[in-house]
Structure 1
Amino acid sequence: MSQHTTQYVFNSKEDYNITLDNMSREFEERWNHQTQSPYTNLENYITRAVLGNGSFGTVMLVREKGGKNYYAAKMMSKEDLVRLKQVAHVHNEKHVLNAARFPFLIYLVDSTKCFDYLYLILPLVNGGELFSYHRRVRKFNEKHARFYAAQVALALEYMHRMHLMYRDLKPENILLDQRGYIKITDFGFTKRVDGRTSTLCGTPEYLAPEIVQLRPYNKSVDWWAFGILVYEFVAGRSPFAIHNRDVILMYSKICVCDYKMPSYFTAQLRSLIESLMQVDTTKRKLERGRQ
């Protein structure tokens, strides 16, 4: 079934909390009305090229038949998903992609399947990974970092309002569109939860202390990871990267928040990172006071 939908249109005169409430109602409607993917293979699309190969499948460039729109089709082998125990992850990712609609998040356009494969049809985001761009320029200045960080913060705020924990924030999961704006992708670790959960998942350098310590945690783990991300934007590496060859040592540093702030960080940047990278989760927040 095609999910072709327009993105939410913002009204600058409307209070943003009202906007988020409206988005929440629309999200609930989509979340509660999931449909199975039809056995139509890619018969409604023309395959143009292979864009890349990942751990669990191939991403192809496709064009809709009878139209001019191009999309990215994520093709995943059912046999591989079962063998690698990724079935639940893929179902969960599809569920989130189908329900979420926000300018800085990837969403599901369509989904189909055949006997051997599952296909997720996604918007074509052709600006590459933020990770690759960041590695090329090595460091962002603070104005540059603020541009991307503001978009990530809004995306996390939206997800948290929808009771979604993202749990895998890092530059590799942020794409750039043709205008230079971000799209967060890869929702395999995203979980819908009202309170706390305790699954160990994520990328080691970005894990919050409570995840490392295998304690129950809430959405504030995303704000810790956001602090790491902002630090990495400007410093060129994450605060615990110097220990990444000794994961046990790195985890011990994370648990007590033992890292060095570069001297060239401004007072405002230091304050932001310090407010996010708090071991005490009750103190962990954005400076404007929202979690």
Structure 2
Amino acid sequence: MAATAISHLLPHIHRNGSLKSSSSPKDEKPRKGEDEEHFCTRRREEEKRMLADWEAGRRPLEPAEIAVDPSRKIVGHSSKHLRCEDFQLLKTLGTGTFARVWLARLANPKQEDDSKVFALKILRKVDVIRLKQVEHVRNERNVLAAVAGHPFITTMVASFQDRDSLYMLLDYCPGGEVFSYLRRARRFNEETSQFYAAEIVLILEFLHESQGVAYRDLKPENILIDGDGHLKLVDFGFAKKVDNQETYTLCGTPEYLAPEVIRNTGHGRAVDWWAFGILVYEFLVGQPPFWDQNPMKIYEQIVEGRIRYPSAMSQNARDIIGRLCTVDVSKRLGQIQGGSKTVKAHPWFSRINWDDLYHRRMKGPIIPHLRGPADTRNFDDYDPEPEGREPYTGQMFNKYDRSFEDF
């Protein structure tokens, strides 16, 4: 069964990341004798060229490269020149209450750029405001900017806006959701589970220890498979920079909620390690350990924290799941002294070469069958956008638009 989100969830669809320069796209000023109109046109064309070049030469970045200020990066920057009309919208990849994700390519591409595609997420400002999602959208954009270039996190290449909408240009991940592969296979074997779990460990290690970010919505539906069979974590709508502090917002998916979220006693990054344990169990068994038609029954099971393991599950798998899904946060693997290193050192991961994995030298266990980089066979079809939607009025612009300045 697909998990049902407690709060608003958006499907995002994306792909692989890299930097090509440390110079800022927004540092440059008009050349001598160049008027503002010519400057904007030139910068717009230069940015489109950079996008095409980036897509052609992606590579995983080292953590120190990712940590560069987003305003100094070619990926993750806020563009003051790009416009929606710079892209040809090919097909809807996913929809939410206030967003739609499109497969897109540069408008009027050169022949060599015809197969270079992106995922363009369009968020209508009026809907973001009406649904009180301004803070979540800002958090998502800022976190994605900060982590742009990580090998297993969707890369936000650029963000921009116009009067009515916000845009996030992301890498396209053509393999679709891990959830779909898991349902077709019923369960993953131990080797596949270890490989994908290890990539998630590297994601959480970076988010927690380099960025101080709690992801807060880990589940198979938010993990995509790229064309090379590696994972990409998407949907950062609930991600929040918390450092060592606690937050109280109730968000996530019932089967994956940590006990401290349900009790509303304050939670931090440790919720991701609990959810990771649930995910490992679902990889190996085919369903989460806590389940009931009634969400309240699920919460009761989670707070009790008693997991039943199939007899065929290995002892090392049982041990790592049990140590991750520990109700006492102070004893939870990943949260105890040593952080992510304690997870990486667990015997269940003894066959993983972490450096080779980070640099994608290991072949992914599931390679999607694709006709080309723009193949959308792993995504559903969606109805066209409804007409006659609420306008973004001048009054709303004056009251709220400053909240979107960093787009």
Shorter-chain TM-score range: 0.7 to 0.9
Is 1:179 aligned to 2:228, yes or no?
Answer: yes
* Counterpart Cα distance in 2 of 1:174 and 1:228: 14
Which residue of structure 1 lines up, in the alignment, with residue 144 of structure 2?
A: 97
* Counterpart Cα distance in 1 of 2:72 and 2:61: 22
Is 1:231 aligned to 2:281, yes or no?
Answer: yes
Which residue of structure 2 lines up, in the alignment, with residue 29 of structure 1?
A: 69
Residues 9-28 of structure 1: pairs in structure 2 closer than 5 A: 9-10=61-62, 20=63, 22-23=64-65, 26-27=66-67
> Contact 2:177–2:223 at 8 Å: present in 1 too?
yes
Is 1:106 aligned to 2:146, yes or no?
Answer: no
Which residue of structure 1 lines up, in the alignment, with residue 103 of structure 2?
A: 61
Which residue of structure 2 lines up, in the alignment, with residue 49 of structure 1?
A: 91
Q: Which has the higher contact order (CA 8 A, sep 6+)?
A: 2
* Counterpart Cα distance in 2 of 1:8 and 1:175: 17
Question: Based on CA coordinates, which of the two structures has the bigger radius of gyration?
Answer: 2
Equivalent residue for 2:248, pick from 194, 198, 211? 198
Q: 2:104 aligns to what SS in structure 1? A: strand
Equivalent residue for 2:124, pick from 71, 77, 92? 77
Equivalent residue for 2:215, pick from 152, 166, 169? 166
- Structure 1 residue 288: deviation in Å? 5.2
Q: Taking structure 2 as the reference length, what is the TM-score of the superposition?
A: 0.63
* Counterpart Cα distance in 2 of 1:281 and 1:90: 28
With over 3 angstroms needed to count, the CA separation of the structure-2 counterparts of 1:250 and 1:58, relative to structure 1, is same
- Structure 1 residue 39: deviation in Å? 6.8
Which residue of structure 2 lines up, in the alignment, with residue 86 of structure 1?
A: 133
* Counterpart Cα distance in 1 of 2:163 and 2:69: 30
Q: What is the RMSD computed on CA atoms of the aligned residues?
A: 2.3
> Contact 2:71–2:77 at 8 Å: present in 1 too?
no
With over 3 angstroms needed to count, the CA separation of the structure-2 counterparts of 1:249 and 1:202, relative to structure 1, is same
- Structure 1 residue 31: deviation in Å? 7.6
Q: 1:106 aligns to what SS in structure 2? A: coil
- Structure 1 residue 27: deviation in Å? 2.4
Which residue of structure 2 lines up, in the alignment, with residue 211 of structure 1?
A: 261
* Counterpart Cα distance in 1 of 2:146 and 2:161: 19
With over 3 angstroms needed to count, the CA separation of the structure-2 counterparts of 1:9 and 1:121, relative to structure 1, is closer
> Contact 2:92–2:100 at 8 Å: present in 1 too?
yes
Identity %: 41
- Structure 1 residue 32: deviation in Å? 9.5
Partner AA of 2:283 in structure 1: F
Which residue of structure 1 lines up, in the alignment, with residue 80 of structure 2?
A: 38
* Counterpart Cα distance in 1 of 2:300 and 2:104: 46
* Counterpart Cα distance in 2 of 1:117 and 1:29: 25
> Contact 1:31–1:95 at 8 Å: present in 2 too?
no
With over 3 angstroms needed to count, the CA separation of the structure-2 counterparts of 1:32 and 1:85, relative to structure 1, is farther
- Structure 1 residue 256: deviation in Å? 1.6
Is 1:115 aligned to 2:163, yes or no?
Answer: yes
Q: Which runs of 5+ in 1 are unaligned?
A: 11-19
* Counterpart Cα distance in 1 of 2:341 and 2:161: 45
Partner AA of 1:60 in structure 2: W
**Higher mean displacement: 64-73 or 166-175:** 64-73
Q: Taking structure 1 as the reference length, what is the TM-score of the superposition?
A: 0.87
> Contact 1:7–1:102 at 8 Å: present in 2 too?
no
> Contact 1:39–1:113 at 8 Å: present in 2 too?
no
Which residue of structure 1 lines up, in the alignment, with residue 294 of structure 2?
A: 246
- Structure 1 residue 28: deviation in Å? 5.8
Which residue of structure 2 lines up, in the alignment, with residue 154 of structure 1?
A: 202
* Counterpart Cα distance in 2 of 1:89 and 1:98: 14
- Structure 1 residue 238: deviation in Å? 0.3
* Counterpart Cα distance in 1 of 2:172 and 2:309: 37
The one-character-per-residue Cα deviations of 1:162-186 (angstroms, maximum 9, x if unpaired) are: 1111000000000000111000001
Which residue of structure 1 lines up, in the alignment, with residue 379 of structure 2?
A: none
> Contact 2:155–2:171 at 8 Å: present in 1 too?
yes
* Counterpart Cα distance in 2 of 1:42 and 1:257: 48
- Structure 1 residue 42: deviation in Å? 1.4
* Counterpart Cα distance in 2 of 1:29 and 1:40: 20
Q: 1:43 aligns to what SS in structure 2? A: helix
Partner AA of 2:101 in structure 1: V
The one-character-per-residue Cα deviations of 1:146-177 (angstroms, maximum 9, x if unpaired) are: 11101011111110111111000000000000
